[in-house]
Amino acid sequence: MFRKIFPTSSAVKVAQKCVFRNASTAAIRPRICIVGAGPAGFYTAQYILKHLDNSDIDIVEKLPVPFGLVRFGVAPDHPEVKNVINTFTKTAENPRVRFLGNLSLGKDFTLEELRERYHAVLLTYGAEQDNTLNIPNESLQNVLSAREFVAWYNGLPGFENLNPDLSGKSLTLLGQGNVAVDLARIVLSSVDELKKTDITEYALETLSRSRIETVYLVGRRGPLQAAFTIKELREMLKLSNCTTMWRGDDFDHVEESIPNLPRPRKRITELMVKSLTEQAPNKGTPSGRCFQPIFFRSPINFIGSGKVEAVEYVVNKLADGRAVPTEHRETIATDLVCRSIGYRAVSVDEHINFDERKGCVNNAGGRVLKRNLTGSDQTIDDIEDKYETGLYASGWLATGPSGVILTTMNNSFGVADLVCRDFKSNTIRLTGSMPGLELSGRTYVSWNGWKAIDSEEVRLGQAKGKPREKLTCIKTMLQIASNASE
């Protein structure tokens, strides 16, 4: 039985009875809380359900809706990547799982409270803050982050009013990962093509008025170190009404290196060289929309009065695979900048052992480390009694933001396996039943509430010929969820 929003304690009791009906008739059941309903959270839950019998899991999420970066980070024209939602849905609908949306760690409850009310707690809430360049004039108008821009067109609540200024002719993306290439593709794509996706209606409207013709994709190292994958590059090269322009000088000695490259790097380098070879010999600016990757450049200054007008770069050379600045400089005019140089997690509770420098939870293989360790301080491996029993982290919060969804899956399965082994080895002692999160007086969204929101989004999308029209107003989401039937 699914739950709606329960504002009273009596309703909470009904919800607990629905999900944990066997709790009083069997041995003590492992009770686990997963904080964060993105890929890391769902993959962790999936593994525990399969390998730890009779365990009960609460997945707690600060938004009223689940799926994290799959919903708000994956490009709208990549629906195949979102198919993993079907697997996550099966996990959420397991009778041993509760989804509790609209509840925030550090705001609605504390880590201490969770540890007192569950046998084990897993922190999987991801990385939601941008890395910055820390160069002059970074606060100029029209200097944004790719994360903000992606959140805007993907409908993440709180970003619907970003309104990026697309009235200029050029956009510069600083960073050459897949997020940057996705953003370039969305900006340079035909709006008629995007209309078929779940991109937000307000983003479609803004993109339809866009005057952006050139997108620069700037990286500090060379083509052999490009961070984007071959899939993203192929999509850019095939983009209709858009020309890709490479700088020939960036490819000095690249072709001769190809035979010795590992196969994945070899294939993407061959594709870049092929595209360069097929490039029109005339070096004039092409008519129409243009995608221009630029290598060996690091931004050192944003130039502009009030808003950004150009970016000044230092020209780099490679030394042992690292970008080393030279005395040469280059300035390239631009009307809008999005930095795409990675994310970092934030600590949302004072009791989280968090490494501010690395931007992730201090952990060893997923087990959260104690703040004050005893024993040898030479290496982590030498220290005894180093783990916070029953406390774990997985996904980007534990590893830092790297890799794709498959990377997160493998990491989360590994951490979930540790959890299962710690229960089975009695490292986590089941000395008594745990009550779970106290929900009395807290407005939360159950899985049934999410299904009501989902149905409304699909209904709104069908009216526009789209898979869905995402809701961005949390108040509206809560109202829809509160009206969901039992």
Q: Detail the residues annotated as belonging to a binding site.
A: 40, 61, 69, 105, 176-179, 220-221, 232, 396, 403-405
Annotated binding site for FAD: 40, 61, 69, 105, 396, 403-405
- Calpha distance 26→38 (Å, rounded): 31
CA distances 250 to 76, 81, 173, 271, 477, Å, are: 31, 32, 17, 15, 49
Pairing outcome for strands 367-369 and 363-364: antiparallel
Q: What angle do CA 404, 472, 141 make, to 5 degrees?
A: 80
- Calpha distance 154→151 (Å, rounded): 5
Residue type at 252 in one-letter notation: D
Helix pair 84-92, 39-51: axis angle to 10 deg:
50
Length of the chain in residues, anyone? 486
Q: In sequence order, which residues have a C-beta less than 8 Å from that of residue 115 and are 6 or more positions away?
A: 121, 390, 391
> Taking the CB of residue 341, how many other CB atoms lie within 10 A of it?
18
Pairing outcome for strands 120-123 and 31-35: parallel
- Calpha distance 389→386 (Å, rounded): 9
> Taking the CB of residue 5, how many other CB atoms lie within 10 A of it?
24
Annotated binding site for NADP(+): 176-179, 220-221, 232, 403
DSSP assigned state of 81: G
SS3 of 212, please? coil
- Calpha distance 277→330 (Å, rounded): 25
Nearest to 55 by CA among 396, 448, 422, 449: 422
Q: For residues 275 and 244, is the Cβ–Cβ distance under 8 A?
A: yes
Which residues are paired to 332 by β-bridges?
311
Residue type at 274 in one-letter notation: K
State residue 65 phi and psi, 5-degree precision.
-120, 150
Q: Where are the strands (E) in 371-454, listed by range? A: 387-393
